């Protein structure tokens, strides 16, 4: 007696697809990302700067920072509130909480790259040699590359600008928000080099990384948000047709 039945096939392996903005993933990816960033930021930089910053001199005078981190955060919050209001007016169903989590993802990944570069390269701030001669150096004084103010400012500005361009129907208003956001990010970033807290290369690298992360994260969250919306509408359509079927 022969049997033509095929043996059961093994279950297909499922690969993980990163979906920032999806609550089912955010509930564990956000805490995991925060833990990784915290662990990296606690590491100490090398005793001497790594290539290509190994033989740099840093004899500038330490100046007080005119743009502390809390000031930059307050600027971001002050811009985000009216932008969110404009987005909700343009689209009452705008998924504000989804994109809020997307912004958090964006800043966590920005900090991941920023902290990793800082503790790996151990670049001296422009005033490091001056304060070291006086015995006043601190751990943070060897975390110059690259600028966290620049990376976070441009991550926020890029993500929020992409939101404005994709959601606002008034293109003039979208350009106004984008100009304000990116102009503020450039101002905050430039002040770090002017105040001798960073080299200009630190600021430019930080701005480039922040822009790339903000752009990628908005694109990813936006695609997740749109796909979830399409699935929801498809499910409602199927249910509606079943209810009207006379059979």
Q: Which two tokens stand for residue 123?
A: 């670049």
Domain definitions of the chain by residue range: 68-229
Q: Note the pLDDT tens digit of each residue in 218-241.
A: 999 998 887 765 444 343 443 334
Over 60: is that where the pLDDT of 83 sits?
Answer: yes
Mean pLDDT of 189-211: 96
Least confident range of 34-43, 132-141, 146-155, 157-166: 132-141
Average pLDDT over residues 86-97: 94
Q: What is the CA radius of gyration of the chain?
A: 24
Largest CA distance in the chain: 93
**For residues 89 and 109, what is the distance between their CA atoms, to the nearest angstrom?**
30
Per the CB < 8 A criterion, the answer to whether 112 and 39 are in contact is no
Say which residue the tokens 């004084």 belong to. Answer: 141
CA distance 149 to 63: 16
Average pLDDT value for residue range 14-36: 93
Closest CA to 45 of 99, 118, 95: 118
């Amino acid at each position: 007696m022969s049997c033509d039945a095929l043996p059961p096939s093994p279950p297909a392996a499922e690969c993980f697809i990163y979906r920032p903005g999806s609550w089912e993933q955010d509930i564990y990816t956000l805490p995991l990302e925060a833990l990784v960033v915290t662990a990296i930021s606690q590491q100490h930089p090398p005793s001497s700067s790594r290539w290509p910053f190994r033989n740099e001199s840093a004899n500038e005078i330490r100046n007080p920072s005119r743009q502390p981190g809390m000031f930059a955060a307050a600027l971001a919050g002050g811009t985000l509130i009216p932008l969110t209001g404009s987005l909700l007016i343009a689209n009452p169903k705008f998924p504000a909480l989804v994109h809020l989590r997307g912004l958090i993802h964006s800043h966590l990944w920005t900090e991941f790259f920023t902290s990793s570069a800082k503790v790996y390269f151990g670049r001296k701030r422009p005033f490091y040699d001056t304060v070291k001669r006086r015995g006043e150096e601190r751990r943070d004084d060897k975390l110059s590359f690259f600028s966290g103010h620049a990376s976070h400012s441009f991550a926020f500005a890029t993500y929020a600008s992409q939101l404005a361009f994709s959601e606002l129907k008034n293109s003039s208003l979208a350009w106004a928000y984008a100009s304000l956001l990116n102009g503020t990010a450039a101002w905050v970033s430039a002040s770090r080099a002017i105040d001798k807290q960073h080299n200009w290369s630190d600021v430019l690298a930080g701005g480039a990384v922040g822009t790339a992360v903000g752009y990628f994260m908005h694109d990813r969250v936006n695609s997740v948000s749109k796909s979830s919306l399409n699935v929801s509408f498809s499910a409602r359509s199927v249910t509606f047709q079943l209810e009207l079927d006379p059979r």
